[in-house]
């Protein structure tokens, strides 16, 4: 992934434009010309930042992941009661997974990943893998504090954590059956997942 200038306004324009196009039209249908037009920059400027479409898509995913990790700091809490801390984690990650940006990116990768393995790899490393590492660190800190079972392997527990969030609500949102789930549905899903995780991982 190319990195010319993290704070350049033009780079920000390009990433925002590319994100909109990839989400709405899919990876294969989007050309670098289209991104340049959408961003209001020249092709020369676009290629100064990114060597090609794969690099650009990887940058879009990575940028969204960085924003997600930054946002997750608000729930990086270990001082409240365990149930409250766990529920905050579940609520944050579920809402992220069913957000339009996350769903749109995931659909794009599913549709194009078979033809473009590098695309799928870039998405996994910048998105799911980064999120799993963050969750694993949170679990490890809770273990250190004696609130989660010591024998748990955080590297295995983190994907189990996220798998629990990809239940019926997530599937229906991903399929477009309920593009905007109700707050009641989200809260019910969060409460159920929190109960299950605490039964599985909480220290005696």
Q: What is the pLDDT of residue 5?
A: 42
Residues 47, 55: Cα–Cα separation, whole Å: 10
Q: Is residue 145 a contact partner of residue 181, using CB atoms and an 8 Å limit?
A: no
Residues of the chain under the 70 pLDDT cut:
1-7
- Non-local (6+) Cβ contacts of 181 within 8 A are 98, 169, 172, 173
* pLDDT tens per residue across span 9-55: 889 899 999 988 988 888 888 999 999 999 999 999 999 999 998 88
Q: By the 8 A CB rule, do 46 and 35 touch?
A: yes
Instruction: Identify which of 131, 128, 12 has the alpha carbon closest to the alpha carbon of residue 69.
Output: 131
State in words which class domain 9-201 has.
mainly alpha
pLDDT, position 7: 53
Token pair 């960085």 is found at 66
Domain spans, the chain: 9-201
């Amino acid at each position: 992934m190319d990195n010319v200038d993290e704070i350049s306004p033009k780079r920000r324009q390009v990433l925002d434009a590319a994100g909109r196009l990839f989400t709405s039209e899919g990876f294969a249908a989007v050309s670098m010309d289209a991104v340049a037009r959408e961003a209001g920059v020249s092709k020369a400027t676009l290629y100064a930042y990114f060597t090609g479409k794969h690099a650009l898509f990887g940058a879009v995913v990575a940028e969204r992941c960085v924003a997600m990790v930054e946002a997750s700091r608000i729930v990086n809490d270990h001082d409240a009661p365990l149930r409250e801390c766990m529920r905050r984690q579940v609520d944050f990650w579920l809402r992220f997974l069913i957000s339009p940006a996350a769903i749109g990116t995931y659909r794009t990768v599913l549709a194009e990943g078979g033809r473009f393995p590098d695309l799928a790899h870039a998405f996994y490393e910048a998105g799911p893998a980064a999120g799993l590492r963050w969750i694993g660190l949170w679990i490890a800190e809770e273990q250190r504090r004696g609130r989660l079972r010591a024998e748990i392997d955080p590297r295995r527990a983190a994907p189990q954590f996220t798998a629990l969030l990809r239940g019926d609500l997530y599937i229906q949102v991903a399929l477009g059956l309920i593009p905007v789930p109700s707050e009641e549905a989200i809260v019910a899903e969060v409460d159920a997942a929190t109960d299950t995780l605490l039964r599985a991982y909480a220290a005696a």
